[in-house]
């Protein structure tokens, strides 16, 4: 019984430590809330929620690091296949695929614009949302 108790205690500690390390700070949470508050209906309805992971740099010239489900290592078609499973994402000339690919770019640009409009934020850097990708069984490239 004692071994099981300690094993559970260690697991709880490790989960808590992982959360504390990766939890966004208050500024990041505030900026993410602003995305939700100022988003268009299109962005609010989008199946992936962009968020600010962290803010780095000097006050007045800070960079907001934002989550994204795609980059050059994870092509849009893989992400779009999860977000829009009824669309043929293997056919790049399919009008439906082209439309959702453009929509992804539009909503990502809108989320970026909302953050860049905030005082003190001078740049946005995108970071691949590895947790979201892994949760949706999309292969995540090594760092």
Structure tokens at 121: 């934020």
Number of folded domains in the chain? 1
From first to last of the 143 residues of the chain, give the pLDDT tens digit. 677 767 676 675 655 545 544 556 789 999 999 999 999 999 999 999 999 999 998 777 899 999 999 998 998 899 999 999 999 888 989 999 999 999 999 999 999 999 999 999 999 999 999 999 999 999 988 87
| 11: in domain | no
| 98: in domain | yes
Calculate the CA dihedral of residues 103, 104, 109, 112 and round it to 10 degrees.
Answer: 140
| 50: in domain | yes
Q: Which residues pair with 24 in a beta bridge?
A: none
| 58: in domain | yes
| 31: in domain | yes
How far does CA 129 lie from the centroid of its chain?
5
Which residues 6+ apart lie within 8 Å of 52 measured at CB?
Answer: 24, 27, 28, 29, 31, 32, 35, 64, 65, 66, 67, 115
| 41: in domain | yes
Helices and strands counted in the chain (H then E): 6, 3
**What pTM did the predictor assign?**
0.80
For residue 102, what pLDDT is reported? Answer: 96
Distance, in Å, from the CA atom of 103 to the CA atom of 46, rounded to the nearest integer, reads 9
Domain that holds residue 42: 24-135
| 8: in domain | no
């Amino acid at each position: 019984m004692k071994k099981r108790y300690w094993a559970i205690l260690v697991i709880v500690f490790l989960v808590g430590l992982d959360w504390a390390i990766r939890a966004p700070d208050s500024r990041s949470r505030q900026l993410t809330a602003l995305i939700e508050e100022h988003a268009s209906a299109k962005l609010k309805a989008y199946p992936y929620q962009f968020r600010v992971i962290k803010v780095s740099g000097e006050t007045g010239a800070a960079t907001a690091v934002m989550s994204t489900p795609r980059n050059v290592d994870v092509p849009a078609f893989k992400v779009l296949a999860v977000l829009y499973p009824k669309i043929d994402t293997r056919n790049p000339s399919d009008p439906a695929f082209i439309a959702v690919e453009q929509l992804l770019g539009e909503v990502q640009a809108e989320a970026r614009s909302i953050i860049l409009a905030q005082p003190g934020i001078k740049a946005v850097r995108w970071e691949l949302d590895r947790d979201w990708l892994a949760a949706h069984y999309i292969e995540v490239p090594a760092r």
